[in-house]
Amino acid sequence: MKKIIRVILIFIALIIVVVAGLLVKVHIQTGRILTDNSEIYGNEKYSSPVYVEGVEVITQDVSCGYACIEMFSAWNGGNLTEEDLCKEYGKVVTSTGDKFCEEMNKRFPEYTTTIHKYMTNKDLIDAAYENLENGVPVPFEWAAKYGDVWTLHYSLLVGMDIPNDKITVANPYGYVEDISVDEFLQRTSFEAYKNMPFYFKLAFAIGMFEKNTIFTVQ
């Protein structure tokens, strides 16, 4: 019996060590992405506002991932809906960034959708601006509030006006948000998500979710 207990305790200790290591890893990754972005305001590259017209905001019925695909489809001249996706799969398949990217490529083969994870603030702004400059909305992951509750959420980035410190987001909670660059980056890095539940922290640690993640569509 003592031997069994000892094995169990060793197993538990190993799990604790592994989890602690993963949490430290994601903390280090987060530190690397939180770069200073103040130089963008004086950068000639971002002097002109970019905005994608024609994105109609919906209020999600099934999931934010499916809702973003529906909004993108409507913008692209299609009629794919959340309900179509749910009926086809019988479940939500876009809970992770990799699966969302896979679904975007499946539904819109005329584009190539690429996921970019743990981008530095500067690189994220740069990639998003260029995608919008090409006239295509940018799906991305961030922390958003549903009422008073923070959630992990997909939305579409549709506009950037860097000189006026404005980011425009089509949020499938049913509205368009205009926020500052700093708030946008606080939320894409999930630094805005205070008191995050441990199971979400663990999901980031094991790579199920990622920070500063956008999907370029070209």
**Can you list the domains of the chain with their CATH numbers?**
2-217 (3.90.70)
Q: Which residues pair with 216 in a beta bridge?
A: 114
Position 30 scores a pLDDT of 75
> pTM score, two decimals?
0.89
In which region does residue 216 sit, left (phi positive, over 0), alpha (psi from -120 to 50) or beta (all else)? beta
Position 208 scores a pLDDT of 86
Cα distance between residue 97 and residue 80, in whole Å: 20
Position 89 scores a pLDDT of 96
Q: What is the DSSP letter of 14?
A: H
Residue 94, token pair as written in the block: 């876009």
Q: pLDDT tens digits for the chain (218 residues)?
A: 666 666 566 666 666 665 666 666 767 777 788 888 889 999 999 999 999 999 999 999 999 999 999 999 999 999 999 999 999 999 999 999 999 999 999 999 999 999 999 999 999 999 999 999 999 999 999 999 998 999 999 999 999 999 999 999 999 999 999 999 999 999 999 999 988 998 888 888 888 899 999 999 99
Q: How many CB atoms lie within 10 A of CB 185?
A: 23
Position 9 scores a pLDDT of 62
